A and B are shown apart, each in its own frame.
Chain A
Amino acid sequence: MKPESLTFTFLLEDFDLKKLPIDAALLRSDRAMLESAVSDYYAGQFRALGGEAQISITQGLVSVRWLSEAGLPALVEHSVALLQQGEYGTAVPMLRTALQHRPDDPVILLNLGMALSDMKQLADALTLLNRLVALQPDQAQGWNAMGMAHVRNNDVQAAEQAFRRSFELAPDDGYSLRNLGGLIARRSPKEALPLIKRAAELLPEDQAVQHGYGRALFETGDAAAADLVLERATALNPLTEIAELARTLRTKIAHENMRGAFGATPRMDVVMYCLAALKLFAGSPDKCQAITFEIAMLGRQGLDINNPDIKYTLKSLPGTFSGLQLVSYMYVGFKRLSPAADAGIDLCREYQQAQRLFEADGVKRQR
């Protein structure tokens, strides 16, 4: 097969310096270093693709000429993979070049359109996506991407039209459902719920969709179901910002449930747990930190404080405990170790009452 030559150019000043392992100010002060670093970056990008890449930088214009048998399809595939990694600054010039060669290619139009939409270059994004849906009016993905660009452009009406068209074309596409549901939820969470629920069923591994479903359940008054969905969402990957949001909402739900019928009245079971913790930590102050921190860490996965089952164990304290018992111990521990720290739950009424009982008990023993 004859090697195909592709050349794409872009302004050096448009290169995203965050892609480089060198401070931006340092690069701007040393033109030769900047040019070498950008060349090295593109050499690395094309090394994985094979073929031969020639990179030149003259008068502020970066020119990459790539000679390969793999040709345009490989370049497009690589660009799409880069977009999935968030490498927009690298992928977009490649896709623009690809578009010049194939102006009506739906894969290029869709991916470049979505990338420009993500980058808030909305006029250009809408131009490409309009061309895509004109060429392929029955392609749901194109309408879905266009709806998202309209949302970002604050044109809610056009967005809803586009999302609805996408939904008509692909009623079982999770992303169409998610986006349409998310938009409708702004004015009516109840109306949006069935759509978001279906999206969650279709995309069980998508943490953002699961979190959105949990939030929608919470907003429509089904806190118990919301908690289960949010727990699942957190477990999908506990180390993300979405997991943090899900955890925060679960804490809020747990707190509201725990207070439930009690309102401002202290819960006596919690008072007794706090009292037990006060006695334990007074008798063994060296254990306070270990127990408190261990519970706090266990709590990152979610302690079930509204379930009376005694199902938790600790390394630092023998026995088995209920979720509410552990949270009460943790609260007391934090009050001793770092009174200003946020324990994540408000047990101050119960704690104060337990303190009074503890002090009274101490006075009694002294007598």
Chain B
Amino acid sequence: MPNADTERLMALVEERTGYRVAVDTIDKCAGDAEMISAAPDHPFHLVRIAQNRLAGADYLVALQCTMLLSMWSHPLGIPKFRLIADKVAHVVRQAADCHGLARLSPALREQTALQMVRGLLHQLQSTPAELIGIDYCYRECPSLRQLQVDALTINLRFNTQSLKPDIKAFAPSDVYEKNQIMCAALARFWCDLTGTEAAWLPYKSIGVDTPAQGLLQKFRDATGSLGERSTNIVDAWADELGLRGLYEWTYRPT
């Protein structure tokens, strides 16, 4: 049978937003799932699960549902994280000048730096909402626990791939460090939730433990509706990481 917790969350999304959640699969996906929130020209929420992650689909759908609930609970409307092009371009240029990218052609250097900066900003936007969802599912969806453990194990392991020396040497140091701080915050959060330590081990020795703990404190201090918490945490993290001027929030009416 479909997982009862997942079904409950899908029903809750429909009740709160007026749109049902449609689930589909996708061959290629940057992460384990993609989500498109409903809009008038798209009258349903779409959650697409990567084909290679179907075994954990129930949890991944539930997690995306928590993100939808979060987005749709913001009093100002559905938040949209909009990058400010000229400010991002400035950071990209700085990143492109780093030593690690010097061996690339100028065009490829710029393109790589752009991808890295955009990736960092996507991580900034998505991690707080993900933490809210992880926390909710862990506490409220016991039937999804094993699938959640499996999914987090895969995601955390994927994050640690970037700790390899060659990647560190290649990436712009500023972007790299901020990325690692947020990865470490996710790892510490999961360790605290589950009473384990393994996910934290790789980050203990690379000097990001204090700033990562600082981000988690900001996460715990946030108040308001799920949606407000999510955007407030992003802003608080951006302040800590020096990324505040690179984006702005716009809100679409529900």
Contacts and interface: CB of A to CB of B under 8 A. Distances in A.
Interface of A: 18-26, 33, 36-37, 40-41, 44, 47, 85, 205, 236-241, 244, 286-287, 289-290, 293-294, 296-297, 300, 314-316
A286 B6 CA distance: 33
24 contacts: A20-B157, A21-B156, A21-B198, A22-B157, A23-B164, A26-B160, A33-B202, A36-B197, A37-B201, A40-B197, A44-B195, A44-B196, A47-B195, A236-B2, A239-B2, A239-B61, A241-B55, A289-B42, A290-B41, A290-B42, A290-B43, A293-B42, A293-B46, A294-B43
Interface in B91-144: none
Tell me the interface secondary structure of chain A in the complex: helix
Contacts of A315: 19, 43-44
A21 B157 CA distance: 4
B1 A238 contact: no
B174 interface: no
A171 B157 CA distance: 46
The 10 A-B residue pairs with the shortest CB-CB distance, nearest first, are A21-B156, A239-B57, A297-B22, A315-B43, A21-B199, A37-B198, A40-B198, A23-B160, A23-B161, A21-B153
Contacts, number: 103
B152 interface: yes
B235 interface: no
A289 to B, nearest CB: 6
B153 A239 contact: no
A21 to B, nearest CB: 4
Interface residues of B, number: 41
A294 B24 CA distance: 12
Nearest to B146: A85
B187 interface: yes
A22 B23 contact: no
Q: Which of A40, A238, A239, A293 has the most CB of B within 10 A?
A: A239
Contacts of B157: 18, 20-24
Contacts of A44: 194-196
A205 B160 contact: no
Given A26-B160, A287-B41, A314-B43, 17 more contacts: A18-B153, A20-B157, A21-B199, A23-B158, A36-B198, A37-B198, A44-B195, A237-B2, A237-B58, A239-B54, A289-B42, A290-B41, A290-B42, A294-B43, A296-B24, A300-B24, A315-B44
Interface of B: 1-3, 6, 19, 22-25, 40-44, 46, 49, 54-55, 57-58, 61, 146, 152-153, 156-158, 160-161, 163-164, 187, 190, 194-199, 201-202
A33 B201 contact: yes
B24 A297 contact: yes
Given A290-B41, A315-B43, A300 B22 contact: yes
Given A36-B198, A37-B201, A23 B163 contact: yes
A18 B97 CA distance: 37
Given A239-B2, A293-B46, A20 B202 contact: no
Given A22-B198, A85-B146, A236 B54 contact: no
**Most B-side CB within 10 Å, residue of A26, A237, A287, A314:** A26
Contacts of A290: 40-43
A21 B1 CA distance: 29
A240 B22 CA distance: 15
Given A22-B156, A23-B164, A244-B54, A297 B198 contact: no
A76 B194 CA distance: 24
Contacts of B43: 290, 294, 314-316
A35 B71 CA distance: 41
A24 B152 CA distance: 15
B57 A26 contact: no
A240 B199 contact: no
B35 to A, nearest CB: 13
Contacts of A287: 41
Given A85-B146, A240-B54, A300-B24, A22 B201 contact: yes
